Amino acid sequence: MAAKPKLHYPNGRGRMESVRWVLAAAGVEFDEEFLETKEQLQKLQDGNHLLFQQVPMVEIDGMKLVQTRSILHYIAEKHHMFGKDLKERTLIDMYVEGTLDLLELIIMHPFLKPDDQQKEVVNMAQKAIIRYFPVFEKVLRDHGQRFLVGNQLSLADVILLQTILALEEKIPNILSAFPHLQEFSVKISNIPTIKKFLEPGSKKKPPPDDIYVRTVYNIFMP
């Protein structure tokens, strides 16, 4: 029996949360080794476990994968969530890249100064409503397929749902003008593997709190 993937990252969302989402969507159980101290990170770096000296890092199939997008691509390809041909893969990749640009704003939000956090919520809402969500609303309205790309769950669906739900935590009505995205969110949330991941007690991480922020600062700041 193959070993479970092992995720190396602090005990919080950050850039590893997308990896947790995709593994969960694929029905893959995984273990985690949480980084809590600068010394743990240094040990990984000194042991040549981190190609570019940084996490996320995922041990999987005898490899130590780094760089979030490369990790996501590998898992998606392995579990048939990366399209049936080059055209579908390129569309999925394009949608994921756009969504991750939006998700990055959410990831960095807890690390802003308190006075800047509310301003950034407004900025995130504007970018989502004006730049990103209209794209996906049009795709879902016009292409006549079951998912964003084709008729099978893909990485693009998973990352978009992750981003929508993270935004809804801060802006509950963010989808009010996007009926097709509302329907999409409900449908993808009810896929059995994802529904299980969204239930209490799963390995899905809660919104970042002060403890997570302090831990990240203590590990990664000089």
Instruction: Evaluate whether residue 104 is within a structural domain.
Output: yes
What's the rounded Cα separation, in Å, for the pair 88 and 66? 24
Question: Do 154 and 101 share a structural domain?
Answer: yes
Q: Which of 164, 149, 176, 162 is nearest to 205 (CA)?
A: 162
Instruction: Evaluate whether residue 217 is within a structural domain.
Output: no
Contact 161, 152 (CB under 8 A): no
Question: Do 186 and 124 share a structural domain?
Answer: yes
Question: Do 153 and 135 share a structural domain?
Answer: yes
The helix/strand/coil state of 161 is: helix
- Nearest 5°: phi and psi at 168? -65, -25
In CATH, what number is assigned to the domain containing residue 42? Answer: 3.40.30.10
Question: Do 182 and 132 share a structural domain?
Answer: yes
Q: Averaged in consecutive runs of 10 residues, what is the pLDDT profile of the chain (222 residues)? A: 90 97 98 95 90 94 95 98 96 97 96 93 96 96 92 97 97 96 98 98 96 94 80
DSSP E strands in the chain: the ranges are 6-9, 31-34, 57-60, 63-66
pLDDT for residue 21: 98
Instruction: Evaluate whether residue 127 is within a structural domain.
Output: yes
Question: Do 206 and 184 share a structural domain?
Answer: no
The helix/strand/coil state of 34 is: strand
Instruction: Evaluate whether residue 53 is within a structural domain.
Output: yes
88 Rama class: left (phi>0) / alpha (psi -120 to 50) / beta: alpha
Number of structural domains in the chain: 2
Question: Do 176 and 127 share a structural domain?
Answer: yes
Question: Do 42 and 91 share a structural domain?
Answer: no
Question: Do 113 and 174 share a structural domain?
Answer: yes
Q: What is the DSSP string of 68-121?
A: HHHHHHHHHHHTT-S-SSHHHHHHHHHHHHHHHHHHHHHHHGGGS-HHHHHHHH
pLDDT for residue 1: 60
Instruction: Evaluate whether residue 219 is within a structural domain.
Output: no
pLDDT for residue 45: 92
What is the number of other CB atoms lying within 10 angstroms of the CB of residue 97?
12
Question: Do 165 and 96 share a structural domain?
Answer: yes
Question: Do 38 and 133 share a structural domain?
Answer: no
- Let me know the angle formed at the C-alpha of 184 by 68 and 74, rounded to the nearest 5 degrees: 25
Domain that holds residue 165: 86-190
Sign of the torsion formed by the C-alpha atoms of 2, 61, 30 and 158: negative
What's the rounded Cα separation, in Å, for the pair 17 and 86? 26
In CATH, what number is assigned to the domain containing residue 125? Answer: 1.20.1050.10
